[in-house]
């Protein structure tokens, strides 16, 4: 399965309903510290809109909700891996993406044969407090040689202007969050991303 080169990440189904119809083909729903019934509602709504627009939906962390609602993809951070049931996830036929920041995490991820590997933050990010400083473009090239043909996703501080450098360094996909959601016109920003990455 080939992943689209543009991978926006949103914290609600509201964003997905608003922006996926513009032509997004790969999107992540990332909700944190949310009640399970609320998560399930957002997952179901996101799944409906993505099915209508032929968009691949990735559920962050909430793998049981992804299984229960018949989703195709789950994304796990390193902390999520600690208590995720990988056997159950795989048995349900879910594809798996994993976040990495250093070589130990990369080795842990590769041992699970994921469907993609994410590296970040490539640039400083305001999205969340992290112990990891910016990884830099060069690390994408290092990861590219380590992971072979597994798709590589660049995340963290990404913008349209920075995307080309990430692709050149070896990323297959560039993820964006605040570059869209904090933009004064998220719709226009998505259209610009689509034009730049297609």
pTM of the model: 0.96
pLDDT tops 70 at residue 25: yes
CB neighbour class for 32 (10 Å; exposed up to 12, middle 13-18, buried from 19): exposed
Q: Tokens for 141? A: 């090239």
The residues near 79 (Cβ < 8 Å, ≥ 6 apart) are none
First to last CA, the chain: 17
CB neighbour class for 7 (10 Å; exposed up to 12, middle 13-18, buried from 19): buried
pLDDT at 130: 60
pLDDT tops 70 at residue 128: no
Q: Answer whether 143's CB lies under 8 Å from 125's CB.
A: no
Q: Answer whether 10's CB lies under 8 Å from 175's CB.
A: no
Q: What percentage of the chain carries pLDDT values higher than 90?
A: 92
Averaged pLDDT for residues 15-42: 97
How far is Cα 33 from Cα 28, in angstroms, rounded to an integer? Answer: 16
CB neighbour class for 31 (10 Å; exposed up to 12, middle 13-18, buried from 19): buried
Q: What percentage of the chain carries pLDDT values higher than 70?
A: 96
Where along the chain do its domains lie?
Answer: 6-197
Instruction: Quickly tell me which residue has 């995720």 as its tokens.
Output: 84
How far is Cα 29 from Cα 62, in angstroms, rounded to an integer? Answer: 10
- pLDDT tens figures, 143-188: 999 999 999 999 999 999 999 999 999 999 999 999 999 999 999 9
Q: Tokens for 176? A: 């964006």
- Smallest Cα–Cα separation from 115: which of 94, 140, 131? 94
- One of 3.90.1150.10, 3.40.640.10, 1.10.645.10, 3.20.20.70 is the CATH number of 6-197, namely 3.20.20.70
Run of H or E residues at 192: helix 186-197
């Amino acid at each position: 399965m080939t992943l689209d080169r543009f991978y926006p990440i949103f914290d609600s189904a509201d964003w997905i309903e608003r922006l996926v119809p513009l032509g997004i083909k790969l999107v992540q729903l990332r909700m944190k510290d949310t009640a399970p019934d609320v998560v399930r509602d957002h997952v179901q709504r996101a799944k409906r809109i993505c099915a209508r627009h032929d968009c691949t939906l990735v559920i962050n962390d909430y793998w049981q909700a992804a299984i229960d609602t018949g989703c195709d993809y789950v994304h796990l951070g390193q902390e999520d891996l600690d208590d995720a049931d990988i056997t159950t996830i795989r048995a349900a036929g879910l594809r798996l993406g994993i976040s990495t920041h250093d070589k130990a995490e990369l080795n842990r991820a590769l041992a699970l044969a994921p469907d993609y590997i994410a590296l970040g933050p490539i640039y400083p990010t305001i999205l969340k407090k992290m112990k990891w400083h910016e990884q830099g473009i060069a690390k994408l090239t290092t990861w590219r040689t380590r992971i072979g043909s597994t798709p590589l996703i660049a995340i963290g501080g990404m913008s349209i202007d920075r995307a080309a450098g990430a692709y050149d360094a070896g990323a297959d996909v560039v993820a964006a969050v605040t570059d869209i959601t904090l933009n004064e016109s998220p719709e226009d920003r998505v259209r610009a991303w689509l034009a730049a990455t297609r």
